[in-house]
Structure 1
């Protein structure tokens, strides 16, 4: 009896995550869907372990096999497109939508082979824009990656205070060095493109760059948790280039 509520909780969580996987799969957001398929399947496996009813166990095995088959097909599709140099995935972030943090958008493309990240964004200038870049750096340092070098190319804050901008980025550089990460900052007056390149081959181009979140008060929900903050409308295009990937 004591195991039933836990079992029910795992099953409900699995259903929610797998529905999300199917939804993302249908939208062509394959890398995100693979993450959800894996998480959902792990939860279903836990349910199967504690299920004693033979009929239910067989039903769970069937569902697990179906989801595993679909996940494998998605994985093969992604690998084939990557191998052919034709992979392209697009995410449309709707105005006022939430659950679009850097972790959700960029996380699926970060792995243990990610050691260098190159960011080109002309607007890492004002305080909130530098905070955005800081949040990205926190994701890179705190995740499963082994990032050792981050390079940023941006524009100087000519209309504000270039010295303040420099000081803030220098502070971030010192902080990252405590984690064994080198930050290189370069300035360009002609930079217009916005993209993030990972040395595992992924290239992420965000229409608005890192600054796609709406402003919120410092004591409002969403100020710290970016998944709770409303967004500006933008498009994210994801490509994979074998030419930028390291030999493994």
Structure 2
């Protein structure tokens, strides 16, 4: 890295670490830990590139402080997980942005994740089917080795029933080409919405995967990038269990 790149890297580090501190103060510890780790790595890269000794000393001190806080959070999370007490709540406000599936699920995805269960009664209409497809794409791009995805939803018995079954069949076939199996089950009594990861995380979203607002137009910002798409108000509850249900 050249000296010319340092200011940009410094700006990025400050931005990520500012977010880490905000999340930390909001008791969103798992998310803050991810940001602390990213920010620390950026500062370490800056440290390698700068020549000024006083600046180096300043950054070493900063890194030390952030590392100590990250370790405290890691210990706290480990204790809560071990005791089965972990519960975090994220409130998505009306018209909020920055809550794409990548952003929301990233803190809970790890290399040990291989199997996912999605229970959502509303994977029926075209935009909901696309939501599920985007969720699957997010898992394929994430740093994990997902081999199986289970979907439990309700069957559309109206005029869109063939659209639902053909779309899910296409998603299944497409995932198969990526060496991921999709198991589809239907229930007429399903009501709750829940996503379970076999690394112990359970994410319950009030609106399920369907918490995005309809874009204002096909060429409006947020149509393609869901981090820029406005959301509907909903609550996300995150739990951790050592004994994840497998059925």
Using the size of structure 1 for normalisation, the TM-score is 0.96
Q: After TM superposition, give the deviation of residue 239 of structure 1 in Å.
A: 0.2
Give the number of equivalent residue pairs: 245
* Matches for 1:57-206 after TM superposition, within 5 Å: 57-206=56-205
Alignment-derived partner of residue 233 in structure 1: 233
Which whole-Å CA distance do the structure 1 matches of 2:235 and 2:197 have between them? 19
Q: After TM superposition, give the deviation of residue 143 of structure 1 in Å.
A: 1.4
Q: After TM superposition, give the deviation of residue 159 of structure 1 in Å.
A: 3.2
Unaligned ranges ≥5, structure 2: none
Q: After TM superposition, give the deviation of residue 245 of structure 1 in Å.
A: 8.6
Which whole-Å CA distance do the structure 2 matches of 1:44 and 1:164 have between them? 50
Partner SS, residue 110 of structure 2: coil
RMSD: 1.4
Alignment-derived partner of residue 218 in structure 1: 218
Partner SS, residue 121 of structure 2: coil
Which whole-Å CA distance do the structure 2 matches of 1:126 and 1:26 have between them? 39
